[in-house]
Structure 1
Amino acid sequence: MKAGTGPLLSALLGLMLLSIPGSRGANPALVARITDKGLEYAAKEGLLTLQRELYKITLSDFSGDFKIKAVGRGHYEFHSLEIQNCELRGSSLKPLPGQGLSLAISDSTIGVRGKWKVRKSFLKLHGSFDLDVKSVTISVDLLLGMDPSGRPTVTASGCSSRICDLEVHMSGHLEWLLNLFHNQIESKLQKVLESKVCEMIQKSVTSDLQPYLQTLPVTAEIDNVLGIDYSLVAAPQAKAHVLDVLFKGEIFNRNHRSPVTTPTPTMSLPEDSKQMVYFAISDHAFNIASRVYHQAGYLNFSITDDMLPPDSNIRLNTKAFRPFTPQITRKYPDMNLELRGTVVSAPLLNVSPGNLSLSPQMEIEGFVILPNFAREPVFRLGVVTNIFASLTFNNSKITGMLHPDKAQVRLIESKVGMFNVNLFQAFLNYYLSKSLYPDVNDELAKGFPLPLPRRIRLHDLDFQIHKDFLYLGANVQYMRV
């Protein structure tokens, strides 16, 4: 991407690709809000970008005729105009309620150097000049919208630049002559500069910022099962002190996407403003993920003897299982066993102040593997457990870890007589703690991606748990290349 105002403003907008209730009739599962502090940081970064861009402005040559009583008529020309220095000192980026953002730059200076020519009859003279442009002010409105694919759009509107103070210093054999009509020259130079500044901003928004926003994905992969829909549900909304950008955040099965039947509840965000950006994630997003996993069968598991830890004192065969159910070896001597666990329904995440928990309910069915490799069911157990979860954020992802309580087991059915539930419960908890939960935590450590644009990093993270949603405050750093 070319350098310009695009990277900064798109970084700002990319941070806000999350949402509040939108015009498509769907509430978001993800919300991001940019505060005054975030807009102030973006404005400061924007000055650096805009300064570099101003050096690239090509100023057109201009010429004219003059008439002075003592000298007569003549012709002048100014050419080879180049910006030598530029210092933008003050800027602000404010919400423009109902439209987008308003960018204002003031108290700035620009230095221009160039050459002049004067021709009168057969006489031709030339020299150089320096132009000091002071008290430059620039303002432009950035109108934010959404295209049919759900990607954000931005257009520049109402751009104006004004130069309040301008001085021309000329050198050469007839600088005194040019000084006689310096007001005319200054007026033309001022018009050239004012129009070029706005032309540069309009071009940068069209050729840099808008294409950069269009590269933001409509969907992204979470893992080999889940994807997430990052399309906007409405155009970004500017309010008095914040900018909310509307984003669906719908999780789906990448292999078989089906409509979400349960609506996302609304979220009432706190009025925090200490940090630059705030992310809110509804428990609905996690619960949709749980339902997708459950429907796809990914929450079910199977345990065979070769999956047990090598140091396990219990093996999955009928001989080793005799302490659990003594009659099993009489009916099925020296045969292997398989345990199949099925989650009864998708476990829902309970999000309450300071607490994340879920209570999955499972059934475990035991099978004897017959000599012909057929599976014959011999017992069925019910299992319940409480699991507490912890979530953390790095600079681009949400990661998690499960902290389970001991599983509680009850006997539903036995075809092999008496069954020692307490002993099996101890075995199951050992397996879950040594094998199943560590594998799940390894997957959770890979993280859930936040929709951030390129070269954006979050720091000073503040994680909070509110009723029905998670809340993350962060400051932003734009990583320049």
Structure 2
Amino acid sequence: MHPDSRMGAPARVLPSLLLGLLLASSPGAPGANPGLVARITDQGLQYVAKEGLVALQSELHRITLPDFTGDFKIKHVGRGHYEFHSLHIHSCELLSSALTPLPGQGLSLSISDASIRVQGDWKVRKSFLWLLNLFHNQIESRFREILESKVCEIIQKSVTSDLQPYLQTLPVTTEIDCLAGIDYSLMEAPRAAAQMLDVMLKAEIFNREHRTPVAFLAPVMSLPEEHTRMVYFAISDYVFNTASLVYHEAGYLNFSITDDVVPPTSNIRLTTKSFRAFVPRLAKRYPNMNLELQGRVVSAPVLNFSPGNLSLAPQMEVEGFVLLPNSARELIFQLGVTTNLSATLTFNASKITGFLKPEKVQVELKESKVGLFNVELLEALLNYYILNTLYSEVNAKLASGFPLPLLKHIQLYDPVVQIHKDFLFLGANIQYLRV
């Protein structure tokens, strides 16, 4: 026997889908704004539904249907009995599905236009085989009930055993490097709107060795109504400025310049002899001694977002020391260093990368123990070092980037980038890489 049944499963709300997201992390502090909002549009949800249909179809081929029996009564003839056993799905076509947000509730998954062909063995008592066709509708109805029940059981099982663990591959904390990590914990339950699902994440970068509270809050982000891509990421300036704070507090932006790092071909040497022409008192007081410049960024640089533009204006202090014969150092002057920088941010299949556009620095003499002097020579030296060494190191770090919160086996393509006030808005399509 080859029973064939076309089955249309009704729409069913799957709150466990949202539960899986909630299990991925703990909610953050109430009332705080997210540092990152991940938005899945209707296009993205339908892609998820399509991929889910492929997985479900594969699961259905592996199930075994239960045996079932039934009785039927024919007036003036008597009662009959049928049995069906060794049933299995021979072929399965699930042609259409939809994943729809239900505002305030969760997600609804519907499957329609499905064709399932079942094979198995059967037998009928009383030799009423010729009458079995009279009860075709009744038997088919039983098949539909069994198939729908089994499909729903498979979906619920997949949500519990497959989907929830998969959703938990959304990183809660991710290592950036040996110093910093990023906290992607959930700020609140995902918000389902008419054509999208928004997931609010903390997205705070922290020191992995000793995490301290951040003294500022993420701003409110007003996301544009964009639907041309499957997913969008609204990344607040909070994310980048918490990174700036971590690296600044760790002294990552501090630097030291001694004569041995000055190129051999340079006419400027970090020695009192080289400075004799424009700081005469220095050479007289400290003849034939080496100098050292120590620089630090006064406070963590703040990355400013404005429409179409990213900028920052770090302020530095540079102290000059004489290296005395007894290995001690003596402070002789202090400089103020300012510059304005522009930045570019891009993202690829899995992370955001950045680049600082080099700008010349301006130097001001703030204090001197060897009298007033022209700082042009030092300005030239600092520009050479900062442009060729310090910026290169920072850009190498920015090029390594930090990872976006993506589920396992998800890859982004067709990226678009917009810069808005206080946040970066990234859009992309997604592809699930089957393994």
Flag the 1:209–1:215 CA change in 2: closer, same or farther, 3 A: same
Any unmatched runs of 5+ in structure 2?
1-14
Q: Letter of the 2:362 partner, please give it.
A: Q
Q: Letter of the 1:190 partner, please give it.
A: R
Is residue 2:356 matched to residue 1:356?
no
* Cα RMSD, aligned residues only: 2.8
Alpha-carbon separation, structure 2, partners of 1:29 and 1:70: 77
Is residue 2:427 matched to residue 1:473?
yes
Q: Is the 8 A contact 1:16 1:34 kept in 2?
A: no
Name the stretch that deviates more: 180-189 or 284-293.
180-189
Number of aligned residue pairs: give it.
Answer: 420
Flag the 1:341–1:370 CA change in 2: closer, same or farther, 3 A: same
Alpha-carbon separation, structure 2, partners of 1:460 and 1:117: 58
Structure 2 match to 1:61 = 67
Any unmatched runs of 5+ in structure 1?
1-8, 121-172
Flag the 1:10–1:72 CA change in 2: closer, same or farther, 3 A: closer
Alpha-carbon separation, structure 2, partners of 1:374 and 1:453: 55
Is residue 2:415 matched to residue 1:461?
yes
Residues 333-380 of structure 1, C-alpha deviation per residue, up to 9 Å, x if partnerless?
222221110211221111111111111111100111112211111111
Alpha-carbon separation, structure 2, partners of 1:75 and 1:390: 76
Alpha-carbon separation, structure 1, partners of 2:260 and 2:112: 72
Alpha-carbon separation, structure 2, partners of 1:14 and 1:367: 59
Structure 1 match to 2:321 = 367
Q: Letter of the 1:350 partner, please give it.
A: N
Q: Letter of the 2:161 partner, please give it.
A: S
Is residue 2:116 matched to residue 1:110?
yes
Residue of structure 1 aligned with 2:296, choices 312, 321, 342:
342
Q: Is the 8 A contact 2:230 2:430 kept in 1?
A: yes
Q: Letter of the 2:334 partner, please give it.
A: R
Q: Is the 8 A contact 2:230 2:427 kept in 1?
A: yes
Alpha-carbon separation, structure 2, partners of 1:16 and 1:207: 16
Q: Is the 8 A contact 1:323 1:420 kept in 2?
A: no
Structure 2 match to 1:76 = 82
2:280 is paired with a residue of what secondary structure? coil
Is residue 2:229 matched to residue 1:223?
no
Alpha-carbon separation, structure 1, partners of 2:125 and 2:129: 13
1:306 is paired with a residue of what secondary structure? helix
1:337 is paired with a residue of what secondary structure? strand
Q: Letter of the 1:454 partner, please give it.
A: K
Matches within 5 A, 1:10-159: 24-66=30-72, 75-119=81-125
Alpha-carbon separation, structure 1, partners of 2:347 and 2:336: 35
Is residue 2:203 matched to residue 1:197?
no
Structure 1 match to 2:198 = 244
Shift of residue 314, structure 1, vs aligned partner: 2.5
Flag the 1:405–1:54 CA change in 2: closer, same or farther, 3 A: same
Shift of residue 177, structure 1, vs aligned partner: 5.0
Q: Is the 8 A contact 1:396 1:450 kept in 2?
A: yes
Flag the 1:107–1:13 CA change in 2: closer, same or farther, 3 A: same
Alpha-carbon separation, structure 2, partners of 1:10 and 1:404: 50
1:474 is paired with a residue of what secondary structure? strand
Q: Is the 8 A contact 1:10 1:213 kept in 2?
A: no
Structure 1 match to 2:168 = 214
Shift of residue 69, structure 1, vs aligned partner: 7.2
Q: Is the 8 A contact 2:18 2:106 kept in 1?
A: no
Is residue 2:270 matched to residue 1:326?
no
2:212 is paired with a residue of what secondary structure? coil
Shift of residue 329, structure 1, vs aligned partner: 2.3
Matches within 5 A, 1:146-185: 175-185=129-139
Shift of residue 213, structure 1, vs aligned partner: 2.0
Q: Is the 8 A contact 2:44 2:430 kept in 1?
A: yes
2:58 is paired with a residue of what secondary structure? helix
Structure 1 match to 2:234 = 280
Residues 135-178 of structure 1, C-alpha deviation per residue, up to 9 Å, x if partnerless?
xxxxxxxxxxxxxxxxxxxxxxxxxxxxxxxxxxxxxx985354
Q: Is the 8 A contact 1:14 1:451 kept in 2?
A: no
Q: Is the 8 A contact 1:305 1:317 kept in 2?
A: yes
Q: Letter of the 2:150 partner, please give it.
A: K
